[in-house]
Amino acid sequence: MAVTSCCLTWVVERRDGLRLGFTNHDEPVTVAGVICEPRGGFDASSMEQRIGGGVDSADVSGFLSSDRISESDLLDGLYDGARITVREVDWSAGAVIRRWPAYVVADMVTTGPVIKLELELEAALALNRPQGRTCAGTCDHDFGDGGCGLAMGPLQQAATVVATDGRTWVEISGLSAPPKGQWLGGLIRLAGVDYEIARHEGGRLTVYGPMSGAEIGTEIILTPGCSKLWDMCRAFGNSARFGGFPHVPGPDAAYRVARRGDGRGYTGGSLFAPGVLVEEESDES
């Protein structure tokens, strides 16, 4: 293998499954089933692989000259969380010589044609993920996950967009509160991508971050959210799977005082009768 037959390849995989390949070679190179186009990759001069077991991050600067990556896609966040795999390959034989650890895009800054990607090691996502249970008054399950156990399909609603700014909000005609749950914290599925609902005002739903493809007449799927409180879980008939500890005192517990005649019986024992859940203890205040 000659040194002159070595090149670098970058495979970018977005969250919607689209995969794009780039290389610093002057001809297309195929790696892992992806055709990497020339002159469209990143400058690897700022990329370092550190030795050791510590979780690390990296910055990669470069030029994206590919016409397959549009400015609107970048601004719409379609590359947020994208997975980037960097390989050194022998283009003459198609063999992988060296593989860098996989990174994900944590942030992106553009200045003219220059793109600076702030990357986090994919391993860091697992290492930084909370492990075990959290002792709190709210549920620590994600709505609809294995711990929650609720099927999301029957709770979803199809809707049509009647007004939108194309990026941050959509308006639905006749939108009312879901039969169970709440729209706050729920999801809007648009063109196969889920966007978390940050605010619900009348028929208008505002999301975190920019949406892509929102237009009048667009069909979307709405999934309600969950407040993660005991009352919400009971409304879904799912209290047996509640993942919190509603008897845990809230932050204001230290400021409570005993009041004569309030019926709480401040004897130093439990404030709760066996098997009885006092609703006021399930709130976050």
What pLDDT does 173 receive? 82
- CATH code for the part of the protein at 3-127: 2.30.110
What pLDDT does 125 receive? 73
Residues 6+ apart with CB under 8 A from 272: 247, 278, 281
Phi then psi dihedrals of residue 230, to 5 deg = -60, -40
Whole-prediction pTM value?
0.51
Question: Residue 69: what residue type?
Answer: I
- 163 pLDDT band, cuts 50/70/90, is very high
- Rounded CA-CA distance 98/1 in Å is 14
SS (H, E, C) 138-168: CCCCCCCCCCCCCCCHHHCEEEEEEEECCCC
Residue 162 scores a pLDDT above 90 = yes
What pLDDT does 216 receive? 92
By percentage, how much of the chain surpasses pLDDT 90? 8
Query: Can you give the residue ranges of every domain in the chain?
Result: 3-127, 132-285
How many residues make up the chain in this entry?
Answer: 285
Residues 6+ apart with CB under 8 A from 103: 58, 60, 83, 84, 86, 119, 120, 121, 122
Partners of residue 221 on adjacent β-strands: 158, 189
pLDDT in tens, 21-34: 888 888 888 888 88
Residue 259 scores a pLDDT above 60 = yes
Mean pLDDT score of the chain, rounded to an integer? Answer: 76
pLDDT in tens, 207-218: 987 788 888 998
Q: Measure CA of the first residue to CA of the last residue in the chain; give whole Å.
A: 67
Residue 249 scores a pLDDT above 60 = yes
What pLDDT does 283 receive? 41
Residue 37 scores a pLDDT above 90 = no
Between residues 263 and 175, which one has the greater pLDDT? 175
What pLDDT does 281 receive? 40
What pLDDT does 86 receive? 85
